[in-house]
Structure formats: structure tokens, C-alpha cells
Amino acid sequence: MNTSHLMPTSIEAEEAILGGILIDPTAISRVADLLKPEYFAIAAHQRIFSAAMTLFTQGHSADLMTVTNWLTDHDQLDGIGGLTKLAQLVDRTVSATNIDQYAGLVEEKYRRRKLIEIGNNIVTAGHQTHRDLEEIIAEAETEVLGIGSHTKPQEFSMLGDCLSAAWASLETGTPPGYFTGLHDLDELIGGLVRKDLIVVAARASMGKTWFAIHLALQIAKKYGLPVVFFSAEMSKESLTKRLLAQVAGVNSQRVMWNKIYEDEWEKLSQAVGELLELPVIIDDTPGTSLTPASMRSVLRRVEREHGSPGLVILDYLQLLGERNAGNRAQDVGAIAGHCKAIAKDFDVPFVALAQINRGVEARNDKRPLMSDLKDSGDIEQDADLAICLYRDDYYNPESTERDKIELIVRKQRNGSLGTAKCWFNPEKGTFRNISK
């Protein structure tokens, strides 16, 4: 059905804006950040406004004469209705006094038209039964919510305002990040900082998922903030059992196998009670189906139902995307970039676990480097903080560093590099400080 005649418009407001621009050379500066050519419903109005914006951005005056000359020089004057159209716009406009209000009305009508357009697209997508339903829902949610954000003017701040905020932060002495509870690591990195992409990399079975669980419990318990755990590798049941094992201090392998000793039931029962109080949200969508758009959808829902998240965890980065993509490194790098964008948009630390290549096993010193990242792409470039995990007793049974794990800071955008150590029990997944 053709519904174009029903589309919300305000032709009078569009004409008033264009007429104001043509009679007042200063008028366009008041709406340049509020409007785009596509916001106008009439094609001729789009071209006129586009001509005025082009002149404005080039530092020229935008008035009747300059706009007319620009349209003439670019063979667009006849397309907008000629001099007659421009004369009508001027004749129907008294002044540009209310141009800001008219801009708001035109922008609102545009958003309504976009909503209708997206609604029609959703109807079409709903009939595409060959597509995954969750993908369609996530895509629809992103488009609908995007209507409310795409018109936001670009923000800037005067240095004086930034200095005031920085000084207030210095006076309060409030740490910029959430403490991990591991003193040596907190001393080195200052905690998990909001808006940062934090990459935690290690070989398989080195303890990176246990480390992520430790961070999740720390933020949920100490700060009472929601933690969203995207477990692309492990099922909800397996991750929940690991959480239970770490909190209860019980052998995780036996918990996984449902082999519990008699004296451990009380510990597990207490752990259940403790975990029930924590705002930890688990999403075990497989990596082949988990996308940045679907992660955003989950986070928006968490914001609505539980408040702003304090931490986002992804386990693990290289599981996302098309596994057989021609340029896998580029694909993974793009996903890392999306994770960084999510961290900034939701004002939250984003911890992305990552696998290390098997090649590290061939070296004498098996401590991983950032160059050892599997399908590395732009992971290192987008990371604000990169921590590599290493256990010497994993490779050397007679190691003098038995039951210790090294948290090696390989990149820190706002700090120094170094290594923090702590006790680690791989059977229970527990971390303890070495120093008090």
C-alpha cells in the first residue's frame, strides 16, 4: 500500500527555515548542527538547504544571491523550481526569528517518517523466515533506538570546563577505576577504568576464564553493579558451576561432574545464597550467533531492568564472526573495534578474553607477547589495557613459582608496563594476594 501521502511533514516549517536563511545570512549558523538535507520532505528543499550548507561550511555567506548563484553554477536551479521558487520562499517569510523552533519541528517530522520506514522494513524482515529471528530483532532494535540518537549535535567542550572537571576529580581523590581486589595488579593499572577495552590474553587452560570470573564477582560484590558476562564458549550451566566452585572454594572438576563430598554441601549452599544476591547476567549465545549488535541489545535491556552495568566480559574474542572468513585477522580486528565502541557508549570497562597462538609453546620463554594473539588483527591497536597470563608451573612441574600466576601488563595507554603476581588455585579457580 502506498502511504507516501500519509507521511508526517511540515512544509510550512521547511519553507520558513529556507526563507529565513535566504533573507538572513546569519540564520544558517543557528540550524547547521540541527538539520541535514535529508530531514526535509521536499526534494527541492533538500537541494536548497544543501547548497546553503555547502556555502556555510566553505566559509561563505548563505543568502538569496549566493544560494542562487551556487544552484545556477551547479545546474540545479531549474531542478528546484527556478527563481520563482526562491522568490516564493522569501515572500512567505517575515524573519528568521523562530528558525530554531522550526528546525525542531522539521527534525521531529523526519524522525516520524524514519520510524514508519523502519516499521515497514521490520514487517518485511519478519516474513524472511530464512533469517535468524534474534538477528532480525537485534537489527530492528538498533535501528529504532538509532532514531533517537542520530540527530544529536557533535559535542565539544571548552578547555576551561575540562580543567574544572579534572580539578574536581583530583580533589576528590576518587580512583578512576574499579579495583580488582588483587593489590599488586591494582597498584600497576589503577583498576578497571570505564570506557576502556581491556584484553586478557593467554593460552588455553592458563586461567583466563577464572580470572574473568574473579573480576565479575569482585565488581558485583564490592560495588553492587550489574556484570554482563557474554560466554560465547561455555554454557550457562558450566559457567554457573565455575562461579559456585570459586565462591565455595570447592574442586571445580568435581562440581562439573556432579561429584560432591558430604562436607562440601554446606559450602555450596552458602555459595548459592551469596550468588543469588549478585547482579550477574549471563548470555551464552554461541560465538557464531553473537554479534556486536546483539550485545548492545542485551546491554540496553540490562540498563532498563537493572541499571547501568559496571563491567562487561566477553569469553572469548576470536569465537565471534565468520570463522572461515577470507581475512580472519581483519574480521576479528573489526569486532575488537566494536567492543571498544561499546565500552565508550555504555561508559563501562569491557574485558575481552583472547586466545594466544600455539607458537608460543616453541619458545624457551613462554610468556606471551601481544604479537602472539591468535587472529590478532587490530586487537592490540584498540585495546587500552592488555594483560597476558602466565603460569610457570603449567610448563615446569618443579617450578619455584608453584601456585602463582603472573599478570603481565603488555600495554597500558595511560600507565606503565610491568608484572603483578598473585596466588592461583587452578582446581578451585581462586585468586589470592601475595602481598598484604
Give the residue-averaged pLDDT of 64-68.
91
Find which of 11-15, 267-271, 294-298, 304-308 is predicted with most confidence, using mean pLDDT.
11-15
Residue 4 has a pLDDT of 47
Give the residue-averaged pLDDT of 203-218.
89
**Closest-CA residue to 21 (of 53, 44, 43):** 53
Residue 230 has a pLDDT of 92
Residue 2 has a pLDDT of 47
Give the residue-averaged pLDDT of 286-309.
83
Residue 153 has a pLDDT of 54
What are the start and end residues of each CATH 3.40.50.300 domain in the chain?
175-433
Give the residue-averaged pLDDT of 13-24.
91
pLDDT digits (tens, 9 = 90+) for 219-255: 998 899 999 999 888 888 888 888 888 888 888 888 8
Among all residues, which ones are annotated catalytic? 233
- The CATH class, in words, for 175-433 is alpha beta
Residue 229 has a pLDDT of 92
pLDDT digits (tens, 9 = 90+) for 126-177: 888 888 887 788 778 777 766 665 445 556 677 877 788 777 777 776 677 8
Residue 292 has a pLDDT of 82
Could you tell me where the DSSP H helices lie in 81-229? 82-91, 99-126, 133-147, 159-172, 183-189, 208-222
Cis peptide before 39 (omega within 30 of 0): no
Share of the chain above pLDDT 70, in %: 93
pLDDT digits (tens, 9 = 90+) for 393-420: 888 888 787 888 889 998 888 878 999 8
Asked if residue 45 has pLDDT above 90, the reply is yes
**Closest-CA residue to 190 (of 200, 177, 172):** 177
Give the residue-averaged pLDDT of 13-30.
88
Give the residue-averaged pLDDT of 266-287.
86
Residue 131 has a pLDDT of 82
Give the DSSP H or E segment for 406. strand 404-412
Give the residue-averaged pLDDT of 86-102.
86
What are the start and end residues of each CATH 1.10.860.10 domain in the chain?
4-147
Residue 235 has a pLDDT of 87
Q: In CATH, what is the architecture of 4-147? A: Orthogonal Bundle (1.10)
Asked if residue 37 has pLDDT above 50, the reply is yes
Mean pLDDT of the chain: 84
HEC letters along 361-385? HHCCCCCCCHHHECCCCCHHHHCCE
Give the residue-averaged pLDDT of 346-355.
91
Residue 1 has a pLDDT of 42
Report in angstroms the alpha-carbon separations of 392 from 130, 209, 265, 402, 403.
50, 18, 33, 7, 9
Residue 301 has a pLDDT of 84
What is the Cα–Cα distance from 178 to 199, expressed in whole angstroms? 16
Residue 3 has a pLDDT of 47
Strands (E), 184-307: 192-193, 197-202, 227-231, 280-283
